[in-house]
Amino acid sequence: MGFKDEFVEIIKNTTVYNLSKITGVERTKLQRIKKGERLPNDEELEKICGALSLTEDKRNKLINARRIELIGEDRYNSRRLSMRFIADISEIFRNTRTEDAALDDKYGDVPDGKVVVRDGKESSAELISSALYSELRRGSGIKIYSDALDTSLFDLIARVLGRARGRIEHLITFIPSNGVYEPYCRNITAIKKIYSLFLDNKEYCPRYMYSPVGSQALFPYSIITDRYYIIMSEGIDNAILISDSGVANCVREFFAQRWSGSRQFIQNAESIVDYIKLYHHGDLIETKENTVVYSLEPEPALTAFLTKGMVENVLNSDYRDAEAILGRIFNSLFSRYFKAKKKIIFSEAGIDGFLQTGIISELPEGICKPFKPNDRRRIMNRLITAAKERKNFFPMLAKPDKLKFGENIRFYGGEDGSGVFLLLAREKTSMSLMALNESGLSAPFCDFMQSLEENDCVYTVDETIAILENKMKMI
């Protein structure tokens, strides 16, 4: 139901006249709300909910119906999806996949014949799994082409990689979201699958490209190995295996052309300098004045604000000149780079971890020594001072009951919808990470970040300052 229908339903046991007397909202305004000619503002809606003693469920339904009327259903659903996404990504990172000891029994021999046809999802999945398993066991590299529309193929890949290790190159086509919920939902669902595979197997190598329309091909998915060419229908309801190395070689060449024009999902930075460059994608940090940059970081992620020239001074330092080092970082943090306003969302658990250990969680072990207690206090005091000055830095702690995110996620984006999305590897010795820098993925997330304050998912800057000051007293 729309807001008008929800409103009419909740006031059916009273009159507009009585509601006006109880709430103090003008009767003509309530009448127009009832007719669907206007929406109540925040204050009016709170008065109405309070006067009618609505249950939490009914109150939320009314509030959400109003939000949908204001911003549209696609935008509303995208914001909710983004919130679930960061919680899901954190959960994937924390959990270790358990292998199914019975998987071997599900892989039979690949049937003989130049062409093998399978109808039905179960029969097709069995053929594909057997071929993948057989080729990985014999050391054949596997190339896969699919889109993000159907993730059942990702599940097959995960099952096979659980029992037979080997390199899989997976080229995935995404559809730009353009503010529409459905393609964004498909893309996010695929990213979660890719991230899970990446965390468990470094030989899974995804790349991606964007297509303005979905695939309308009869057989849109392909698998190429040394011996086989397999084509599959959407949903893997049908599969055809062609056992001909000549055909496989021909398709492999076409795949290589598309692969060379695609983008990397997983970046393997060889140094901290390479890692820092990801934060500078699209000159996001050097943003013009009078714009707003949004950031999602568990703890003070100072690496985002280091320049190449600072790295040697900061990393692997014995901190004999810690104050000078931190001074250079903060000069960059609050002057040169941040001409724009920066609204940064921290997690309380991330701040606590930093204060207790001095570790910046995104950095692999051995790259940077933990900050000493005095340095941690200095960093936090500078953040608090900058927040109190209200010039260009607005830190906000996430409310853990409403916004959950772990140490593996970083987002840095501007009002224009461009952004850098970093999902970290599980091994702290690795510099591998997943980088999503396309507007088709980051624009909806930028919009979500902008909605956190109005949806009461974060503490205000003043509340955040008070919380941080209390934490400082405890160290």
Alpha helices by DSSP H, 138-244: 152-161, 181-200
End-to-end CA distance of the chain: 51
| pLDDT for the residue 242 | 93
Query: In this structure, what DSSP letter does residue 333 have?
Result: I
Q: Identify the band that residue 84 occupies on the pLDDT scale cut at 50, 70 and 90.
A: very high
Sequence-separated (6 or more) residues with CB below 8 Å from residue 383: 300, 393, 395, 468
Per-residue pLDDT at 194: 92
Q: What is the DSSP letter of 50?
A: H
- What angle is formed at CA 423 by the lines to CA 144 and CA 346, rounded to 5 degrees? 160
Q: Do domains 3-71 and 103-264 have the same CATH topology?
A: no
d(CA 214, CA 440): 14
Q: What are phi and psi of 35, to 5 degrees?
A: -80, -5
SS3 assignment, position 435:
strand
Per-domain residue ranges of the chain: 3-71, 78-91+268-473, 103-264
The tens digit of pLDDT for each residue in 441-463 reads 788 888 899 999 988 899 999 99
State in words which class domain 103-264 has: alpha beta
Q: Using CB atoms within 10 Å of the CB of residue 58, give its burial: 0 to 12 exposed, 13 to 18 middle, 19+ buried.
A: middle
**How does residue 304 score in pLDDT terms, banded at 50, 70 and 90?**
low
**Beta-strand (E) ranges in 157-260?**
168-174, 204-210, 221-224, 228-232, 238-243
Q: Compute the average pLDDT of residues 249-266.
A: 90
The pTM assigned to this predicted structure is 0.85
Q: What is the pLDDT of residues 140-198, one digit of tens each?
A: 889 999 988 888 899 999 989 888 888 999 999 888 877 788 888 988 999 999 999 98
The domain defined by 78-91+268-473 carries CATH number 3.50.80: no
CATH topology of domain 3-71: 434 Repressor (Amino-terminal Domain) (1.10.260)
Please name every residue paired with 295 in a beta bridge, in sequence order, or none if there are none.
Answer: 344, 412
Residue 468 has pLDDT above 90, yes or no: yes
Q: Is the pLDDT of residue 214 over 60?
A: no
Q: pLDDT above 70 covers what percent of the chain?
A: 80
In one-letter notation, the amino acid at residue 129 is: S
What's residue 218's pLDDT?
Answer: 65
